[in-house]
Structure 1
Amino acid sequence: MQADRRQPGEQLWLELPPMSESAPRRLLVFLHGAGSSPEAFVPIALAWQLKFPGATAAVVEALRPSSASAGKDWYDPAGASCGHAERVVEAAEEVARRLDALQAATGLAGSETVVVGFSQGATVALELARRAPGSAAIVVAYAGRLARPVRQGETVAPTIHLIHGELDSVVPTAHSERSYRHLRAAGTDVSLDIALDETHAIGQALVNLGTTRVLQTLFRGRSRKRLPFSYLRSETLQ
């Protein structure tokens, strides 16, 4: 288990209340990227809430100070070939504990929970789907990767939506393409969208794409209407 690296008074997550009391209740949980913070990710969380106004949104704070910026990292990215998977597993276990606390506080179950991760946060979200499948019904991974290969006979219960910018020079699209192949071979309900002209960032176009995939999942029957693997030309809205 990973030791608690928080200092006294540090937040576990930043919570945004529902925008509407009459809309369906859900829990949207966001895992920000490396070197970032919950406050920096709030605009994305708010953009998602506009599509799910009855949802409580929680941006979870990463675990360790970043060596490259003033923000936080989920795990030490150095020496990715040595101990990388173990560090991601430890981060996912801590997120699972915080999710349990969030769900207890809001009265919302894993079946009503959507986890959205970006970059390092997406990698942790994918590991969470494997280690704690009951924590969320849907995982959206922007610019993520699998920390370890899918084992023979392994099943991944949550629906997974992989989204990647075609021009991402920080995390190449090959990582999402490889993750898609492995998850699909394991029988996972998984989709992959490569957004043409998009980089290592989440603009309004990618928010729209992610929320659309989640809505397609919630309103079943999407399997006849969407391609599980697609290339989309998108424009980042100002």
Structure 2
Amino acid sequence: VQSPATPAQQLLLLFHGVGDNPVSMGQIGSWFAPQFPDALIVSIGGVEPCGPNGRQWFSVQGVTEENRQQRIDAIMPTFIDIVRYWQEKSGVSPLATALIGFSQGAIMSLESIKAAPDLASRVIAFNGRYATLPMTATTATTI
């Protein structure tokens, strides 16, 4: 979405909802770009195909409140690895990283902070929630 001419000072990672693709979240990222000109802004696609042109992080076929957390936990190491890859590639620390998600992307962003509390300093969640509420409040991340 945006790659600054100088080394990035912030990292904004965007995650879409089920059946969508990185292009749609890229449009949202373009709204952030003028406000954060020194940020590397990347829209990331879910790892599994979903429909003819979409992606997802985990299947929602047959998902229930009882099995949702298990599905998230299964893909979470990959999600965390992707965030850390972009942090390493950009040279931006977790303290200057924001995870911005819509729907399933919001769930993954929120749940990632439960799994790895030092992963990012900010989460913006549009139309999403925790799969299960955290047992303790994070003190390292603004949500």
TM-score (norm 2): 0.89
1:44 & 1:149 partners in 2: Cα distance?
A: 27
Q: 1:124 aligns with which of 77, 88, 108?
A: 108
Q: Which has the larger radius of gyration?
A: 1
Higher alpha-carbon deviation: 112-121 or 91-100:
91-100
Q: Which amino acid aligns with 1:118?
A: F
1:78 CA displacement? 2.2
User: Match for residue 122 of structure 2?
Assistant: 138
The equivalences for 1:12-31 within 5 A come to: 16-18=2-4, 21=6, 25-31=9-15
2:18 & 2:57 partners in 1: Cα distance?
A: 7
Higher relative contact order, chain-length normalized (CA < 8 Å, sep 6+): 2
1:105 CA displacement? 0.9
Do structure 1's residue 112 and structure 2's residue 96 form an aligned pair? yes
1:135 CA displacement? 1.2
TM-score (norm 1): 0.55
Do structure 1's residue 98 and structure 2's residue 86 form an aligned pair? no
Gaps of 5+ in 1: 1-14, 161-238
What do the CA deviations read for 1:89-113 (whole angstroms, capped 9, x no partner)? Answer: 2333212101111111111100010
1:64 & 1:21 partners in 2: Cα distance?
A: 33
Gaps of 5+ in 2: none
Q: How many residues align?
A: 141
2:134 & 2:99 partners in 1: Cα distance?
A: 20
Q: 2:141 aligns with which of 154, 158, 175?
A: 158
What do the CA deviations read for 1:2-34 (whole angstroms, capped 9, x no partner)? Answer: xxxxxxxxxxxxx6302x649x71000001111
Q: Which amino acid aligns with 2:2?
A: L
User: Match for residue 55 of structure 2?
Assistant: 72
1:155 CA displacement? 3.2
Identical columns (%):
27
2:43 & 2:36 partners in 1: Cα distance?
A: 15
Q: Which amino acid aligns with 2:62?
A: G
What do the CA deviations read for 1:121-158 (whole angstroms, capped 9, x no partner)? Answer: 0011000111111110000000001111322xx23231
Contact residue 91 and residue 124 of structure 1 kept, 8 A = no
Structure 1: 4+ residue segments shifted above 6 A: none
1:51 & 1:135 partners in 2: Cα distance?
A: 23
1:141 & 1:48 partners in 2: Cα distance?
A: 14
